[in-house]
Amino acid sequence: MPERTIMERVTSAPVYHRYRDPDLTELAHRNETLDVLLGHHSVRSFTAEPIDTATLETIAAAAQSAPTSSNLQAWSVVAVRDPHRKSRLAALAGDQAFIVEAPVFLVFVADLGRARRLAESRDVPLDGADYLESTLLGFIDAALGAQNAVVAAESLGWGTVYVGAVRNNPELIADELGLPSGAFPVFGLAIGRPGNDTAGVKPRLPLSAVLHHDTYDVAAADAGVTAYDERLGEYNREQGRDTPWTTAVLGRLRDASSLKGRDKIRHSLVSRGWPSH
């Protein structure tokens, strides 16, 4: 077998696909865990292969191994495999067909309901749960756990994709899942064996745009945007798209309507037992 050219070796490296930067051909360290992380991409096409309970428990155990603020463990996850329930959830979360197609749809939940029930059973106050800090805590705990779940699932050969559209109709989704007061659906995660998966590794902003040393460097943060638009544009053309990153960012945050119902989340939080003062 002929020796690979330098360019072939470079373009096969996970870091090249993550940044598409010809000047960044390798990182200082490489191992299997880093390769899984650098090779992450969202999968929106799944085979019919089911996922068994033992595998789900393994993924959940990895999720629970994530850091949690003050060991409050203020999150839960609902694993939905019933096709009819997945179909109803898909309709509430942007009508995305892959939610139904995936063998399991995990809904990660910010959950202070457990702490509230503990306080009620012991007849003690829990006023601290009513503040925005506690809302953030629950959301962050759920996100940390979910990211551990993604890495665990992908290390086992499963594909994943997050679904923020769960927040389009959080109250209806909470009702569908039977969530108690104090539990709020934060996002979904579809998991399954990749099917007709044509998505590659989507390039990210240059390291210099996000990694600051000692103080925030605005000039460095903004300097890489033009090059990134070009690199992401190359990827998008391979995927049959042509919207520049800058256009997509500004469009996604243009006004309340671009949030697709999520501008009402504060009201939904209050209705589900999260005053968030």
User: Domains of the chain by range and CATH?
Assistant: 6-39+201-238 (no CATH), 53-198+261-271 (3.40.109.10)
**Would the pLDDT of 246 be above 50?**
yes
- What pLDDT, on the 0 to 100 scale, is given for residue 8? 46
Mean pLDDT of the chain: 94
SS3 annotation, the chain:
CCCCCHHHHHHHCHHHHHHCCCCCCCCCCCCHHHHHHHCCCCCCCECCCCCCHHHHHHHHHHHHCCCCHHHCCCEEEEEECCHHHHHHHHHHCCCCHHHHHCCEEEEEEEECHHHHHHHHHHCCCCHHHHCHHHHHHHHHHHHHHHHHHHHHHHHCCCEEEEEHHHHHCHHHHHHHHCCCCCEEEEEEEEEECECCCCCCCCCCCCHHHHCCCCCCCHHHHHHCHHHHHHHHHHHHHHCCCCCCHHHHHHHHCCCHHHHCCHHHHHHHHHHCCCCCC
Q: Which residue has the tokens 């019933």?
A: 82
Rounded CA separation 194/192 (Å) = 6
Instruction: Give the pair of three-digit tokens for residue 42.
Output: 């969202």
Residue 64 burial by CB count (10 A; 0-12/13-18/19+): exposed, middle or buried?
Answer: middle
Average pLDDT of span 183-210? 95
Residue 214 burial by CB count (10 A; 0-12/13-18/19+): exposed, middle or buried?
Answer: exposed
**Would the pLDDT of 45 be above 70?**
yes
Reading phi first (left if > 0) and then psi (alpha if -120 to 50, else beta), residue 241 is in: beta
Q: Model confidence at 3, in pLDDT bands (50, 70, 90)?
A: low
Average pLDDT of span 203-209? 96
- What pLDDT, on the 0 to 100 scale, is given for residue 34? 96
- What pLDDT, on the 0 to 100 scale, is given for residue 234? 95
Q: Model confidence at 198, in pLDDT bands (50, 70, 90)?
A: confident
CB 122 within 8 A of CB 36: no
**Within 13 Å of residue 208, how many CA atoms lie on the same side as its CB?**
11
CA-wise closest residue to 102 among 182, 143, 47: 47
Average pLDDT of span 81-91? 98
Q: 117: how many CB neighbours lie within 10 A of its CB?
A: 14
**Would the pLDDT of 10 be above 50?**
no
Q: Which residue has the tokens 């925030």?
A: 216
Q: Model confidence at 1, in pLDDT bands (50, 70, 90)?
A: very low
Find the radius of gyration of the CA atoms of the chain.
Answer: 21
Q: 21: how many CB neighbours lie within 10 A of its CB?
A: 18
Share of the chain above pLDDT 90, in %: 92
Rounded CA separation 146/166 (Å) = 14
* Position 253, amino acid: L
Average pLDDT of span 112-137? 98
The answer for residues whose C-beta is within 8 angstroms of residue 90's C-beta and 6 or more apart is 96, 97, 99, 100
**Would the pLDDT of 90 be above 80?**
yes
**Would the pLDDT of 9 be above 60?**
no
- Which pTM was predicted? 0.94
Q: Model confidence at 142, in pLDDT bands (50, 70, 90)?
A: very high
**Would the pLDDT of 140 be above 50?**
yes
